[in-house]
Structure 1
Amino acid sequence: MNAVSQPTIAALLPPLPNPFSNHPPKPPPPHSYPSLSLSVSPSPPKPKSKPQLHTHLNFSTSLPTQSRPPILTADPPNPNPNPNPNPNGSDQTHYIFSHLLDLLRLSARHGDAELAKAVHASILKLQEDTHLGNALVSAYLKLGLVSDAYRVFQSLSCPNVVSYTALVSGFAKAGREEEAVELFFRMRNSGIEPNEYSFVAILTACIRILELELGLQVHALVIKMGYLDCVFVSNALMGLYGKCSCLDYALKVFDELPHRDIASWNTIMSSLVNEFMHDKAFELFSELLQYGYVVDHITLSTLFTACTGSNAFIEGQETHALAVKTGLEGNLSVGNALIAFYAKCGSVRDVTALFKRMPTRDVITWTEMITAYMDFGLVDSAVEMFDQMPESNSFSYNAVLVGFCQNGEGLRALDLFMKMVKDGVELTEITLTSVVSAFGLLMDCKSSEQIHGFVIKFGLDSNACIGAALLDMCTRCGRMGDAKKLFHQWPTEQEKSIILTSIIGGYARNGQLDEAISIFHQYQSEGIMVMDEVASTSLLGLCGTLGYHELGKQIHSHAIKYGILTDVGVGNATISMYTKCWNMDEGVKIFSMMPTHDIVSWNVLLAGYLLHKQGDEALAVWSKMEKTGIKPDKITFILIISAHRHTNSNSVDNCRSLFLSMKAVYDIEPTSEHFASFISVLGSWGLLDEAEDTISKMPFEPEVSVWRALLDSCRIRMNTTVGKRVVKSILAMEPKDPSSYILVSNLYSASGRWHCSEIVRDNMRKKGFRKHPGRSWIIHNNEIHPFYARDKSHPLANDIYSGLEILIVECMKAGYVPDTSFVLHEVEEHQKKDFLYYHSAKLAATYGLLTNKPGKPIRFVKNIVLCGDCHTFLKYMSIVAKRAIHVRDASGFHYFSNGQCSCKDYW
């Protein structure tokens, strides 16, 4: 088909009436389509009344009863009322024509292309008839033979509006939207005026390529020719505006519809849901029921999507009841939407029961189940579901691959990827992004280089998502040099915001905090850093990690200014940032202001209270959460069990009951993390024997995290008897976590068993494990000032060390006695004290005292748990310096004031 050589739409748009001229949208890049002429034939179809668009919304329009949903058909009814296509009126010819039409319908109904071609051969022997030709075009289109349909169309000497409309619709549905548009203009140029089906066909093409500017012109022509009162046409217009995120336009069309059908409501509700306007969708659904419409499967599927997106568990259950009442629960699309809903807002029991009840299932059903099991952390169940699938495709493979990554199963993800390559499964963007992320999880430098080479070899590194995943993988594997190269080689024509977010997070992950903040400020000042929902969420997380309160407040203000704070992800990140930056009150305030909450919102709030060691407040939040109907997940229970460590009264019995109810009441299988939290609670209340007994009765082999929780309790309670048994269990497991080796080595050193301590450390070196270095940092004048033990790299190192020596003397006068029991080196006592005096926490606290204004609290962050000696020193420092000291370490917050700590020496 030859392209029409005419001016672009943008050039000819001014003389055309814009149906929404009061609020013109931002036009997309212009395409080389001709402008629509608004001249019409002398005898256009006359509507019953001339509809007009108004700027106000009016939902009080009287509505008819339910009508059939609109079908964007390529085979509209024959407008010729004469049943005999033969001008001679011969009965025999009429019989032949009718028989051929029946055969064409039969071929389309049964997907028999050979029959259609045989009928085509018979038609060629007859005198040309447009109606018969149109029927042949329609049959070929229904059989998916678009090229054959087009050849028949070209053979017609006098194609009519039905001929053109059928082929325009066929092109639009076959992914040949540009040809559909050109054919529509050819019809107009030939003097044939479009009918309501023609408008639906061209609008279908506009929807598929998001051609808003052309759609506006079609809208103007629809008004001019009087077809706006046709519900099918108006529904298609709403579909276009919804897909192009022009909700105001869609709502105006909906408001002024003289007649609506259920498809009208479905279209506008779907548009609202796609723009996350769930509350508005629920309002329209209530109106729909009030007007007496009978819902269909599309209505319910859309509503379940809204309930899933807004975590509206109660509304979802009510919609489920409506599905059962209307007999639509067994509908395939409704069932799939229900699985997605209960996977997000329900329990694994709900999802499994629903799956078993479904009368029919497709690949989407099985894939939704795989995703649900992965979201619940039931990896083996998801794999079993995948193996049972009657047929699988790239989507189901990707669901397993993504699930492996989100559950930290990097090796299994790689094994699946190798199987996909071997079996010839299509490798999509999601596939490669996931497998690159899997290598990032493994944090193996050499292996990550292999997948990097694979991606480059096939020329896929230019893809934005894959490129960002590669950069993130490099940062996780310590390949910051390669990450910087990827960053600087990023194509200039691609959006750079996503890669900026990755490199900033990478710098922060590798401890290069100054570089992370510096690159953020640089690109934000240049206007390159687009602060969308993803970037804002990531940077708020970075500010929380650093304790960078001032920058976090700036990003919060930006989110308010640009209206993205309503995004639940941004809201959750803002809560987390404030709670990690010593501002729990502001975090609670943000939570209360959020229009919707998901389970992450509640978990973030619980985690905040837990960081501040406010267990009673966390339990109060848990009570409110239960009343909302939102289902807790496994993270919720880890948090709420741990909260019992920090209550003002002994709540072990309540904690024990909650732990035992996880499976029975909430259908959540306890994991090692849950047992570790429970053991920690028992140990904090001195119930070490019960804690040890609980571990011995675990239904599976305890991981090292469980034993470490008990070992930490032994440290707090100074119970060396149980501690020795725990040490043996940890060493027998040969954990890969170097911190376990350090902990065991410390315990040997504390008991004077230096030889054993050195053996443990030698084993660490042989296995290639390195101790995660202790590091403290303080933010002053919008700069991050990091410190390591005995670090003299700071420009003010001399002043800091001099000030610290004075502080140590004054603290010792006040009663501070250095605790050398955990110093790892078999050295003289005065050398042990030297190691203790210059820990990173003491250096950071001294710098804060030297630089902060009088009376202002000293605030700094430490990446590991404060050692006992530093904790004691900071208590005495708060006395002699007469200054509050606020520290966030790996265990949470410590508020030192007048020689006391908020943790009450239990952390």
Structure 2
Amino acid sequence: MATLVQPYSSSMPASPSSSYSRLPLSPLLPQNPFFHCPLKLPPLPSRFYSASRAQFLLYPASSVSSSPSLFLSESFNCKDFPDVGDSLVEGLINLLRLSARCDDAELVRAVHAFVLKLEEETYPSNALIAAYLKLDLFSDAYNVFRGLSYPNVESYTRLISGFSKSNREDEALKLFFQMRNSGIEPNGYSFVAILTTCIRIMDLQLGLQIHAMVIKLGYLDCVFVANALMALYSKCGYYEVVPKLFAEITQRDIVSWNTVISSAVNEFMYESAFQLFRNMQAKDALRVDYFTLSSLLSACAGSTAVMEGQQVHAHAIKIGLDTNLSVNNALIGFYTKCGTLNNVVSLFERMAVRDVITWTEMVTAYMEFGLVNLALQAFGEMPEKNSFSYNALLSGFCHNGEGLKALNLFVKMVEAQIELTDFSLTSFISASSLLADYRISKQIHGFVLKFGFGSNACVEAALLDMYTRCGRMEDARKIFSRWQLEEGSSVAWTSMICGYARNGQLNEAISLVHRSQSEGKMVMDEISSSSVLGLCGTIGCQEVGKQVHCHALKLGLLSDIGVGNAVVSMYFKCWNVDDAIKMFNHMPTTNIVSWNALIAGYLLNRLGDKALGIWSNMQKKGIKPDKVTFVLIISAYRQTNLNLVDDCRNLFDSMRTVYGIEPTSEHYASFISVLGYWGLLEEAEETISKMPFEPDASVWRALLDSCKQHKNTIIGKRTAKHILSLEPRDPSTYILVSNLYSASGIWHCSEAVRENMRDKGFRKHPAQSWIISQRKIHSFYARDRSHPHVKDIYRGLEILILECLKVGYVPDTSFVLHEVEEHQKKDFLFYHGPKLAATYGLLMTKPGKSIRIVKNILLCGDCHTFLKYVSIVTKRDIFLRDSSGVHCFSNGQCSCKDHW
């Protein structure tokens, strides 16, 4: 993707303070209007030009002898030739320019040696400084500067600019302050040079002082100075200042417009970027350049504006920029997000010129489409690679869940001494988070400390997140306790809150949210607001979610698409479909994530028909689906009817042919789940056998779930073997296999699996149900007696069971997955977590008020039946969200229609 920060120096005219700066860069010819002297100078020695150079200077014929070295002789003095002094200096200046164009350090040093004999007032010092700087000979340039008795503003400016662009910012700053101390007033070019330094070191405080000086000296009307100021604020993250400054500019050029447009894109204000472009065309009628188009394509990709992106592409073709390298790179990025793989590959193959950015974009594109092998192939074919190329591959592995491959690549990067950036380290740590391996996480922590990255905020945040994902909450707390008092520690609070929720420590998570707000430790920006909203949705805490929603509205954060998507998702997960839809309809801009959130929300609340309606609406609007969209839409066919399975098959087949999206393991798992749900187990198993790549555990697990549902132990046994060979260390796999045997009454096999699991030291997270009451989460496990009101809860549940038995409830002991006596099975059933949570909710809420429960795994059949009868005897609605979606129990019926 082309960079969104355009070099503003391209708009600078030649310096008016220098007569020679107005001379053309090309060799001086007789017809040149800037040179009317009819005289000729003798040819210079051969060391002044190579065979590839033409005769490039005309010298005064009357002033020469037959000796070619006359003008280099030690006895030469301009006073001996009073009529040719100006011509000589101009000729030498053109020699210096030629040396820079031809990268000839010998030539510039020869000219330097020659002109040392001239009088200082005729000495082309600034041209020498410029020539040395262009050849990266900084010491020589500085020596010329130091030899000047009275350096002028141009001398300082050239050196400041050269140092700034060559990673010598400290020297550039010292020179600027030296210039100010000597009483020399900066000009527009000086301001651009020092602002360039501020941009490179992101020194906003100095930039603010320069801004004040610009206003004081009246240079704000200078377009290239104003452009540099806007670039400074944009680079330092103060995007809101850029349009304000832009509005104050009386004269604007294409760079001014490009800067303010790219600033809007960087702030994810895509509609503003489009409107600015329309204003540019209407007001100034400027011809767009490659940078304008690259910025607009980034906006189109970010907002999934398919039609607008295609229009930009068409405009590029119309004005002849469709062959521009930067535009083509931006187009690859756009079609990666908003097109098909065919669009991307076709564009790539038509490109006559490619660079490392092009190849890196292709690696990213293949990874985005889930084609890891093709991404690896493209990476191997790259003519050159840099750290960005490796990082693209590294993050692509993480994006596709290939944690082990990411770790192996990182090891190769270290061995090959590839530059490691913050992004490299955070991707590396994210890869270990995918594996959730305690031992690997310890090794990674040691690596980070050894190589000195431990104090980096981004890396430390990634480590904190890794610890929580590996279940190492004690280690996470240690990092958090060291970091929570530091400036800018919002990310630590956010990670810790999410970590508590991820590890089932729900009260700790909510408590930390309240503490962060009361102590003012966590700035509720777009990222933290989205994270807390996600937490509220996961827990089902609508009260806190609404507070965060109001807070985001008050701070104007709802213009951020990520925050809006988080609000939509939160309301759906908190059983509030109406507010979720209302939020979606009022979002200023949406992207494919927004539409996916809408579809997922309908599926969560078992509104599969409406989810398919959204899919139809997306097709009418021309909204391009992504991989996630197809996973969701395929899953929607579980919530419709058996007659629509053919439609599901057709959709699955059209992914590749119509939309250019290659099916991944996620898509196959979703499709297998639909077939298995409707009892088509043989077809599901056959589909797996015909997959174009090796199925992973998620695909087999989808089939095993269906086998358990339909009690098919024959296919289940074959499926279980595949899962155990792929994920021998995943405790959930053993539980699933054990439950399959238990559900089929094969108790000895079930116990053998559990015994094998215990021997290997595996343990699963226990089933947990919770309810929120009085701003506190009350969690319950099966036969849990840890609650402070346990006696009242058990007494209430016993009464509730008796009342349900009176109206027809019959305990289904087949759901007790242990070989015990019948009365013991009933005891197991009666005190499951959902029943305890429901009883506590009934005891703690007013009559007639609905009960809302969350369960972290699938609801068992007996609890499902029991809660239907509870809704009859209590005349209350009970909402329960499990891993399959939302159940709404009302008057003896469930919204899932007994299919989940």
Judge same fold: TM > 0.5, yes or no: yes
Q: What residue in structure 2 maps to residue 438 of structure 1?
A: 431
Instruction: Give me the whole-angstrom Cα distance separating, in 1, the residues matched to 2:843 and 2:605.
Output: 26
Instruction: Give me the whole-angstrom Cα distance separating, in 1, the residues matched to 2:356 and 2:622.
Output: 31
Residue of structure 2 aligned with 1:286, choices 270, 275, 278: 278
- The answer as to 2:618 corresponding to 1:625 is yes
- The answer as to 2:829 corresponding to 1:836 is yes
- Range with bigger deviation, 104-113 or 805-814: 104-113
Q: How many Å apart are 1:68 and its aligned residue? A: 11
SS at match of 1:778: strand
Tell me if the contact between 1:504 and 1:516 (Cα under 8 Å) persists in the aligned partners.
Answer: yes
Q: 1:698 to 1:396 in 2, by over 3 A?
A: closer
- The answer as to 2:746 corresponding to 1:753 is yes
- The answer as to 2:559 corresponding to 1:578 is no
- Range with bigger deviation, 381-390 or 623-632: 623-632
Partner AA of 1:386 in structure 2: F
Partner AA of 1:268 in structure 2: V
Alignment of 1:368-383 (within 5 A): 368-383=361-376
Q: 1:699 to 1:80 in 2, by over 3 A?
A: closer
Q: How many Å apart are 1:450 and its aligned residue? A: 1.4
Residue deviations 1:60-99 (CA, integer Å, cap 9, x gap): xxxxxxx995048899753699989957754666665445
- Identify unmatched segments of 5+ residues in structure 1: 1-66
Instruction: Give me the whole-angstrom Cα distance separating, in 2, the residues matched to 1:796 and 1:170.
Output: 75
Alignment of 1:69-148 (within 5 A): 70-71=11-12, 77-78=18-19, 90=82, 97-129=89-121, 132-148=124-140
- Range with bigger deviation, 669-678 or 867-876: 669-678
Alignment of 1:11-90 (within 5 A): 70-71=11-12, 77-78=18-19, 90=82
Instruction: Give me the whole-angstrom Cα distance separating, in 1, the residues matched to 2:10 and 2:380.
Output: 38
Q: What residue in structure 2 maps to residue 46 of structure 1?
A: none
Instruction: Give me the whole-angstrom Cα distance separating, in 2, the residues matched to 1:176 and 1:793.
Output: 65
Q: What residue in structure 2 maps to residue 400 of structure 1?
A: 393
Q: What residue in structure 2 maps to residue 171 of structure 1?
A: 163
Partner AA of 1:415 in structure 2: N
Instruction: Give me the whole-angstrom Cα distance separating, in 2, the residues matched to 1:87 and 1:301.
Output: 56
Instruction: Give me the whole-angstrom Cα distance separating, in 1, the residues matched to 2:252 and 2:518.
Output: 50
Q: What residue in structure 2 maps to residue 300 of structure 1?
A: 293
Residue deviations 1:544-564 (CA, integer Å, cap 9, x gap): 111111111111111111111
Residue of structure 2 aligned with 1:728, choices 718, 726, 747: 718
Q: What residue in structure 2 maps to residue 36 of structure 1?
A: none
- The answer as to 2:780 corresponding to 1:784 is no
Q: What residue in structure 1 maps to residue 47 of structure 2?
A: none
Q: How many Å apart are 1:680 and its aligned residue? A: 2.7
Q: What residue in structure 1 maps to residue 477 of structure 2?
A: 484
Q: How many Å apart are 1:419 and its aligned residue? A: 1.0
Tell me if the contact between 1:75 and 1:166 (Cα under 8 Å) persists in the aligned partners.
Answer: no
Q: What residue in structure 2 maps to residue 822 of structure 1?
A: 815
- The answer as to 2:144 corresponding to 1:152 is yes
Alignment of 1:541-556 (within 5 A): 541-556=534-549
Q: How many Å apart are 1:577 and its aligned residue? A: 0.9
SS at match of 2:483: coil
Q: How many Å apart are 1:161 and its aligned residue? A: 2.8
Q: How many Å apart are 1:686 and its aligned residue? A: 4.4
Q: 1:72 to 1:374 in 2, by over 3 A?
A: farther
Alignment of 1:303-702 (within 5 A): 303-490=296-483, 492-647=485-640, 650-702=643-695
Q: How many Å apart are 1:138 and its aligned residue? A: 0.5
Instruction: Give me the whole-angstrom Cα distance separating, in 2, the residues matched to 1:262 and 1:76.
Output: 25
- Range with bigger deviation, 310-319 or 424-433: 424-433
- The answer as to 2:790 corresponding to 1:770 is no
Residue deviations 1:676-705 (CA, integer Å, cap 9, x gap): 322332344444454444344333344443
Instruction: Give me the whole-angstrom Cα distance separating, in 2, the residues matched to 1:313 and 1:216.
Output: 39
Q: How many Å apart are 1:130 and its aligned residue? A: 5.6
Q: How many Å apart are 1:870 and its aligned residue? A: 0.8
Instruction: Report sequence identity in percent.
Output: 64
Partner AA of 2:104 in structure 1: D
Q: How many Å apart are 1:614 and its aligned residue? A: 0.2
Residue of structure 1 aligned with 2:191, choices 183, 196, 199: 199
SS at match of 2:852: strand
Tell me if the contact between 1:675 and 1:706 (Cα under 8 Å) persists in the aligned partners.
Answer: yes
Partner AA of 1:106 in structure 2: L
Tell me if the contact between 1:73 and 1:169 (Cα under 8 Å) persists in the aligned partners.
Answer: no
Residue of structure 2 aligned with 1:800, choices 793, 796, 809: 793
Q: How many Å apart are 1:265 and its aligned residue? A: 1.9
Tell me if the contact between 1:75 and 1:138 (Cα under 8 Å) persists in the aligned partners.
Answer: no
Partner AA of 2:492 in structure 1: I
Instruction: Give me the whole-angstrom Cα distance separating, in 2, the residues matched to 1:241 and 1:475.
Output: 36
- Range with bigger deviation, 459-468 or 180-189: 180-189
Q: 1:244 to 1:703 in 2, by over 3 A?
A: closer
Instruction: Give me the whole-angstrom Cα distance separating, in 2, the residues matched to 1:221 and 1:539.
Output: 43
Instruction: Give me the whole-angstrom Cα distance separating, in 1, the residues matched to 2:268 and 2:315.
Output: 23
Instruction: Give me the whole-angstrom Cα distance separating, in 2, the residues matched to 1:350 and 1:86.
Output: 66
Q: How many Å apart are 1:863 and its aligned residue? A: 0.5
Instruction: Give me the whole-angstrom Cα distance separating, in 1, the residues matched to 2:146 and 2:603.
Output: 73
Q: 1:557 to 1:656 in 2, by over 3 A?
A: same
Instruction: Give me the whole-angstrom Cα distance separating, in 2, the residues matched to 1:445 and 1:415.
Output: 17
Instruction: Give me the whole-angstrom Cα distance separating, in 1, the residues matched to 2:355 and 2:889.
Output: 60
Tell me if the contact between 2:768 and 2:781 (Cα under 8 Å) persists in the aligned partners.
Answer: yes
Instruction: Give me the whole-angstrom Cα distance separating, in 1, the residues matched to 2:122 and 2:240.
Output: 42
SS at match of 2:815: coil
Tell me if the contact between 2:700 and 2:722 (Cα under 8 Å) persists in the aligned partners.
Answer: no
Q: How many Å apart are 1:321 and its aligned residue? A: 0.8
Alignment of 1:803-882 (within 5 A): 803-882=796-875
Tell me if the contact between 1:78 and 1:162 (Cα under 8 Å) persists in the aligned partners.
Answer: no
SS at match of 1:785: strand
Q: 1:608 to 1:259 in 2, by over 3 A?
A: same
Instruction: Give me the whole-angstrom Cα distance separating, in 2, the residues matched to 1:225 and 1:509.
Output: 57
Residue deviations 1:585-611 (CA, integer Å, cap 9, x gap): 111111111111121111111111000
Residue deviations 1:394-447 (CA, integer Å, cap 9, x gap): 221122112222222111111111111211112222222222222222111122
Tell me if the contact between 1:475 and 1:506 (Cα under 8 Å) persists in the aligned partners.
Answer: yes
- Range with bigger deviation, 285-294 or 219-228: 219-228
SS at match of 2:879: strand
- Identify unmatched segments of 5+ residues in structure 2: 1-7, 23-33, 38-76
Q: 1:386 to 1:532 in 2, by over 3 A?
A: same
Partner AA of 2:551 in structure 1: H
Tell me if the contact between 1:130 and 1:159 (Cα under 8 Å) persists in the aligned partners.
Answer: no
Q: How many Å apart are 1:623 and its aligned residue? A: 1.8
Q: How many Å apart are 1:119 and its aligned residue? A: 2.8
Instruction: Give me the whole-angstrom Cα distance separating, in 1, the residues matched to 2:130 and 2:150.
Output: 16
Number of aligned pairs? Answer: 838
Q: 1:164 to 1:352 in 2, by over 3 A?
A: same
SS at match of 1:650: helix
Q: What residue in structure 1 maps to residue 65 of structure 2?
A: none
Q: How many Å apart are 1:859 and its aligned residue? A: 0.7
